[in-house]
Structure 1
């Protein structure tokens, strides 16, 4: 038995008509095929299309890369677990690096084939260190190089990078690329029967080092055109970014030009002026690695004591005599008030203001105060609201 619901509300009829007549309610679905989109957007040249059609592989690893260690004598890397330092030190000689094994391989070839290098391909002395992986395989358990079988995978050697600032290690790396058949570190720095004390000397004898002539030309040219302060800045830039071969020689050859302004201010005292120039170079150089004192040595003179302690505030002022006697009466009163306030902590007034038209000597008064207080051991910091106002003030 059906039932009938009577409704007198016109709003319900409108709702029913609207729902019946609106049609299907379907969501739009985007079928995103990322593989197809990539294939459709991929550019393929004629050569690649031909290789794909012929089934020729586009990518292939032809050679394995063998990383070769480089280190100075008894400075090889050793890996060990925590609390096993003593055991690691005792077994360090057994855990040979690829370089140590290379020396052993050459020693074995020497004992097998004699002192003279033979044409036998098994004689490792025919190859440089970087060429060894092409003919030998490094066996990790035995820590030694073994001759590679015909089925062995092709390999290329790559010696680890060494920064130029690690000088002896860097020169050892250079020698490994040029000298064959070395059985130890001493043989590696032996050239034409001459055993050199350092790797640097051996590399220099082989003519593999560029000299500092370029930096000498640069400093000579700058010395004729620029002030000593700018010359010292250039010298620091050469040390930081150009890796000169002999920084000490550069410093010794140009010390007169580098310290010329200090010579004029210190009655031509060469040793003191040289030391002050070295201190200024140290200040510009900063805390950069390697430390400056590892590249340049300069002896502190006996005439240098605390009263001459270097400060840019003292030595970069004008050539005028900075004393209270050179101030006029108003300037002198102002300067004396400030000096008294600095020395006497009981004085309550600690803030002073100097006003006057342009050219009346305000900056000169500041310089006098700076010079006097700095010489008496006080730390002085000059500040200004703008760069233009700060320019005439001591640094």
Structure 2
């Protein structure tokens, strides 16, 4: 179906072009065709999830021992899997993958936002070839040209044309988003090769500028910055601007003047913006100077002639919010509806239904523009990262999940040859088979070995590389949580028993093995339980985790735990208070941050 509709919206001068010359009706046609194809995919998922169910292997065995041989009575229904592109689980997986790359290579160096330009020469030449039309009437063309430009830009980054070469030959993460008015844009993260330590002002100035070029010596650069890289007018010069919220620009323009580039105490870059009375542009009747220039790279702007915002990534743990931003998922329309004639019980029942039915929740108030529909009809990727990231599953002995067919008897399910094989047990077998494998932990394994899911085996990698990511386990999970601690430090494990053996003694509980390895001394596991997810979890989630650990886990010295992690729990407090007080320049001392964090934590306890 998708291929047929993608075929329909191609330009063919020798054939009838009624569809592509329909103007705004073409927008409606593209959106309708995409929603039809997506609805078909969702319908397939809904109809087939009753046929495939997942359950713990031991639970299947227990059911058979108890005389229950009907597979239809077992299993947890999966609603919207991570294999569905743009779904919540899909975007969450991509966020975790991006953070795994960040953990491996460190913080990215550049954050680039590249927006399509409807006035590109290539677009106009194509439209003129069949009689002319407005570029905004052809969202399909805008997407295709933007995709070509994006591919060429990424190729330039790989070759080191505008910036230093990326690490490991090519390390990049990008996500495609679509503005409500239609134009696609890409959020790109780059890691530089051989660049270590914190950036200096000279390094940042070498690649990024936030000033107008000289009108006389660089006329082309000045006109491009004027056309694509000026924000506003807003603020006092235009209080009715769409970016204004509560009398302030939501993008924090106009920026303050600065004679030099510097990095503030929170790790954010303040770009050089000098005050020149003769350097300004006119937007209507308003003069805008360097305070309104969006940071950019001039050579990159000259080649691609579009809005390309280039920012140096701040050296702070708040980098996870940047990854959250680029993987936040699809747009939604905001509506306020009030149902009449329905009881409170019926409304609550509807809410519970949406909580259980991820497909309905995904479709509720979904906003789809013509450009987004075109992008999906052409089957272009909305997310990409290199190198690839492999999710490594974890389970206790006999606690792995198996996929069962409800039409088969449980004896048939358990009689499959590979029923007890998993990614983790295949790792144990590879350690027995390959001597070089014994030098690696579980999370390091994908860098030198490839997992074949069809035969459930690991084999030595012949080319390329990959980054491993062990699935997160909550501290309240008990044995599985301690197993995860062990597999992250023990190399060359031959089996579950090997992981529980320390100094010739085999322990019944993995927690005891952790103590024997010295991994749990002085509440170390609870400190690590907060520090590890701090690289990807939000501060609100971390504060809830802190409370869970205090209430349900055996913490020997809660005050030491608080002193060690309070600054992690407080990362978003300054931003929250700046918004609450409508004071972007607010600065809080450490003691004030600590008190506000305690107040937020106390609020969660109530």
- Taking structure 1 as the reference length, the TM-score comes to 0.39
Q: Which of structures 1 and 2 has the bigger CA Rg?
A: 1
Bigger strand fraction: 2
Report which structure shows greater RCO (CA 8 Å, sep ≥6).
Answer: 2
